[in-house]
Chain A
Amino acid sequence: MHELTVIENIMNISLQVAEQNNISRISAVNLDVGEMQHLNEQILQHGFDASVKDTIMSRADLKLRWVPVKLKCRDCYHIFEPQNGCYYCPQCKSKDTEIKQGMELTINSIEGE
């Protein structure tokens, strides 16, 4: 249920950005969510709808873009999606890999007038 903490932070950041840009009504928040974050979309959407009531984002849509996990091999620089839970490089079999994407929890943009 860390979705609620995430929503609280989404709201704080969005409202701050709206104020700085003279936005009086937020219509959408575009959020990139890495698949590693284990966020539940239904809880996020319900929690968001309940939390934004009586604010300038009360009619805003929370638009999620799920970002798949991608790894980069530190030996041969191959970029790949892990298959069957294996984080080794499929090209050179190196175990030395780093997560390049899939950890995101980023507000990409907000939309409003």
Chain B
Amino acid sequence: MEIKVLKNVLDRNNDQAEKNKALLRKHDLVMLNMISSPGAGKTTILEKTIPELLKTKNVGVIEGDAYTSKDAERLQKFDIPIVQINTEGTCHLDSSSVRSAFEQLDLAQLDVIFVENVGNLICPTGFDLGENIRIAVLSTTEGDDKPAKYPMLFRQAKAVVLNKVDLIPYIHFDKDGFFSDLHLLNPSVNTFEMSAFKETGVDEWINWLKAHIT
């Protein structure tokens, strides 16, 4: 006997993501989901971004890591609310873990939440957290072929930050090819060239962010 089911396997996650969205709307909050490989520079980007936003906004962070709280510790100097989620080896955050993190944050007091997802270009893309904006971060050392290899992430991202552009003279990275591939896949994507470490290209990114979290 065959029984029709026609049910999305990720329904449970998607349902909770919708509830998260409603909660963010209620508190007039913008949540950004930052996805990249491990070591692409998400935490360094946040280290350069948060002090600028703190001049006018209240910022909170949800840190997703498979193990350890090293990234959260790097952001503690800003004296902002940070919730650490350790996924115990799981490769992505899901909407339920973000909902639990909300309970440790005073949402009414915040304007923006950055979610630093677990470092991975594939797994986090299938799990809607209820975020308003999805950001992909790629570092030049990972190679210029990534949009073609990971179309789901680069198609869904509202903005892509190309980090570590200061290293391009020392590696084989075809920047024009990278942006050309990216725009073929996602014509409306916003792009930023940055070296968070050297603090270049950060201003454009911050101006764009400010325009999206008013």
On whether the two chains bind one another, the answer is yes
By beta carbon, the residue of chain A nearest B10 is A105
- Are B184 and A86 neighbours in the complex by a CB distance under 8 Å? yes
Tell me the bound Cα distance from A111 to B3 in angstroms.
6
**In the complex, chain A residues 1-19 whose Cβ is within 8 Å of any chain B Cβ:** 1-2, 4-6, 9-10, 12-14, 17
Chain A neighbourhood of B185, CB < 8 A:
85-87
- Are B9 and A38 neighbours in the complex by a CB distance under 8 Å? no
Chain A neighbourhood of B91, CB < 8 A:
1-2
CB of B122 within 8 Å of the partner chain: yes
Chain B nearest CB from A73 CB (Å) reads 12
Count A/B pairs, Cβ under 8 Å: 94
Tell me the bound Cα distance from A13 to B10 in angstroms.
10
Q: Are A106 and B126 also in contact (CB < 8 A) when A2-B91, A87-B186, A87-B187 are?
A: no
- Are A2 and B148 neighbours in the complex by a CB distance under 8 Å? no
Tell me the bound Cα distance from A96 to B188 in angstroms.
9
Tell me the bound Cα distance from A6 to B194 in angstroms.
35
- Are B127 and A107 neighbours in the complex by a CB distance under 8 Å? no
Tell me the bound Cα distance from A4 to B89 in angstroms.
12
Which secondary structure dominates chain B's binding surface?
Answer: mixed
- Are B3 and A2 neighbours in the complex by a CB distance under 8 Å? no
Number of interface residues of A (CB under 8 A): 36
Chain B neighbourhood of A55, CB < 8 A:
none
- Are A87 and B184 neighbours in the complex by a CB distance under 8 Å? yes
- Are A95 and B94 neighbours in the complex by a CB distance under 8 Å? no
- Are A85 and B181 neighbours in the complex by a CB distance under 8 Å? yes
Chain B neighbourhood of A103, CB < 8 A:
152
- Are B151 and A85 neighbours in the complex by a CB distance under 8 Å? yes
Q: Are A36 and B151 also in contact (CB < 8 A) when A86-B184, A105-B9, A106-B9 are?
A: yes
Tell me the bound Cα distance from A86 to B184 in angstroms.
5
Chain A neighbourhood of B90, CB < 8 A:
1, 4-5
- Are B9 and A17 neighbours in the complex by a CB distance under 8 Å? no
**In the complex, chain A residues 77-97 whose Cβ is within 8 Å of any chain B Cβ:** 85-88, 95-96
By beta carbon, the residue of chain B nearest A26 is B3
B1-19, CB under 8 A of A: which get 1 and which 0?
1111111111110000000
Q: Are A21 and B181 also in contact (CB < 8 A) when A2-B92, A88-B187 are?
A: no
On A, residues with C-beta under 8 Å from B are: 1-2, 4-6, 9-10, 12-14, 17, 21, 23, 31, 36-38, 69, 85-88, 95-96, 99, 103-113
On B, residues with C-beta under 8 Å from A are: 1-12, 90-92, 94, 122-123, 125-127, 147-148, 150-152, 155, 181, 184-188
A-B contact pairs, 30 of them (CB 8 A): A1-B90, A4-B90, A5-B94, A5-B127, A6-B10, A9-B9, A14-B5, A37-B126, A37-B152, A85-B147, A85-B181, A85-B184, A85-B185, A87-B184, A88-B184, A103-B152, A105-B8, A105-B9, A105-B10, A106-B8, A106-B9, A107-B5, A107-B7, A107-B9, A108-B4, A108-B5, A108-B6, A109-B6, A110-B5, A113-B1
